[in-house]
Amino acid sequence: MSAADETYVEFVTARQAALRRIAYAVCRDDARAEDVLQEALVKLYLAWSRVQGTGREEAYVRRIIVNADLDQRRRPWHRRRSSVPLELVDGPARSGASAEDRIELLAELRRLPPMQRRTVVLRYWLGFSVEDTAAELGITEGTVKSHASRGLAALRARVEMPLDVG
């Protein structure tokens, strides 16, 4: 195995669970998240010689995940599922919310329009700045603010627990 392959395997091993959660949050579908993540990891491997060591490896693969989700949504055989994987809700709650509350929040997050969901996930789940979210999604900062505001308002209206989003 080459040194580049070894660094790729180390990166994927260390970040795969987090990338899987990001893919699920973007896709809203457990099976599609697996497909999108697999596609993203293949594309990352193909670009690894250019990307490794830049400090932008994770940002690069996140962008691939978002783009792969958009590509899959455009395909005619796209179907939605409504399951919530337990690995997204079995960790410690940030705001002290119960597992049931977190499941409800994730279900409501899945109901948001795709761009609002992506914006809310990047801004508040992953803690991106407005500027970073705009760059990641390829939209303006004003559009990020608009989608985030609308998404949070919709979540607050639907969920009866405090949303700790800063």
CATH of the domain at 121: 1.10.10.10
pLDDT of the residue at 109: 84
C-alpha angle 131-93-161 in degrees, rounded to nearest 5:
85
**Position 79 in a domain:** no
Same domain, 103 and 70: no
How confident is the model over 100-123, as a mean pLDDT? 83
- Asked if residue 88 lies in contact with residue 21, where contact means CB atoms within 8 angstroms, the answer is yes
Which structural domain, as residue segments, surrounds residue 41? 3-74
- Of the two residues 141 and 99, the one the predictor is more confident about is 141
Same domain, 153 and 103: yes
pTM for the model stands at: 0.51
The CATH number given to whatever domain includes residue 47 is: 1.10.1740
Mean pLDDT of the chain: 79
**Distance (Å) of CA 52 to CA 1, 40, 41, 59:** 16, 15, 13, 12
Tell me: the pLDDT tens digits for 24-44?
Answer: 888 877 888 888 898 889 888
Same domain, 45 and 107: no
Tell me: the pLDDT tens digits for 65-109?
Answer: 988 887 777 665 544 433 444 344 334 444 556 667 777 777 788
If you search the block for the tokens 């960790």, which residue do you land on? 91
Same domain, 65 and 103: no
**Position 153 in a domain:** yes
